[in-house]
Amino acid sequence: MPWTLDNESAEPLRQPGQGGGRAFLQHLQRRLQNLPKRVHILAGVALTVFLLFVSVVFLTPEGSPLPGTKPAPVGNYIPAEPLWWRPSWTTESRVPRFAYVQYATNIDYLCNAVINFGRLQRFGVREEFVLIHPKQWSTEDSAEGKALAWLTDMRPEIIMRGFEVISTNKGDKTWQDSLTKFHAFALTEWTRVLVFDSDSLVLNNMDHYFLSPTASVAVPRAYWLNDKNTDIAKQVLGSHVMLIEPNKARYHKIVNEARKTGDFDMEVINHMFKDSAMILPHRRLALLTGEFRAKDHSKYLAPDEDIEWNAMAKSRERMLCTSAIGFCLSRGSRAASNSGRLPCQNAPTTTLKSRIGRDVLTR
């Protein structure tokens, strides 16, 4: 006889009280087992669909669109440019902002600073340029003031920042204003800045240094002052190139220290950061011009002294060639070079000034 609901209802449903709860469940189980197979399948599918719907509704985060729907537009939404090459900057909530920084305290250094920025552009760097200069240049009618005004119009991509010149009365006059570079610690609009002396020559793109592990100050060692057997803790740090994270408190501390001691920039860096600075390998970063005429290259090549010195290869792979301190530094003070003049001072001043317009400012 075919199955119908009437056939099933012919047998009365025993109440729990008539045979106990267990007997009732056994009786219900027998009835469910007697249902046709297609009813079992339909019931299973319906239960699965119901559970999936409940999961989607209750597990979707608040405010997120349901699957298959489009999010509502928010104002004039413009997709952000992909930061495919930038890392996430874990020490800051803002998007990291990096810059190359130089300082100039006279028109010759101003000339070389602009030349270096031009070379960085040609090497395809992606970061900003900042030039630290004496603040009186912005208002005075001097050669430096006119040059600065011209550069501001012709090279708007160079951000000009005026500060007071920090000087020392010690040592050679050539480096008396070198403490001015410490104003870079006040550039807190940037997450990280790479500061290098304006009497250097840029040889390559240095963008990758901004992605180094985070550190308040990162500098190379002054390899020309360190013997190969010198204990690491006693090795002298250099200040010709510095990767720093600007900070107002640190800025005031280092400027006060510089003014109080009257020491040169390298001595101040060693006094304040010798035990805390991150060390950047000097090879492939900065090469002193004096190295090209030296006969012994063991200090530069350390710790791999067995490597053969190749002047042409070294000049191609360097990031910076530093001339101002190439062969005129001593541990206690900066002495004059053999000639008594810097390489940039050997050329006529008029030639240096004319290069601003001829080599750099023309587009």
Please write the tens of the pLDDT for every residue from 250-298.
999 999 988 888 888 899 999 999 999 999 988 888 888 888 888 888 7
pLDDT value at residue 58: 74
pLDDT at 158 over 90: yes
- Nearest Cα to 258, choosing from 180, 340, 356? 180
Residue that has been written with the tokens 């057997």 in this structure? 229
pLDDT value at residue 294: 84
* CATH number, domain 98-361: 3.90.550.10
Model confidence at 234, pLDDT cuts 50, 70, 90, reads confident
Q: Are the beta carbons of 285 and 220 closer than 8 angstroms?
A: yes
- Mean predicted confidence (pLDDT) in 133-148: 90
Please write the tens of the pLDDT for every residue from 335-350.
333 333 333 333 333 4
pLDDT at 164 over 60: yes
DSSP 8-state secondary structure symbol assigned to residue 225:
G
- Nearest Cα to 254, choosing from 270, 240, 238? 270
pLDDT value at residue 341: 34
- Nearest Cα to 192, choosing from 137, 139, 121, 243? 243
pLDDT at 197 over 70: yes
Rounded CA-CA distance 144/165 in Å is 14
pLDDT at 147 over 60: yes
Number of H helices, E strands in the chain: 10, 10
Q: What is the pTM of this model?
A: 0.64
pLDDT value at residue 361: 40
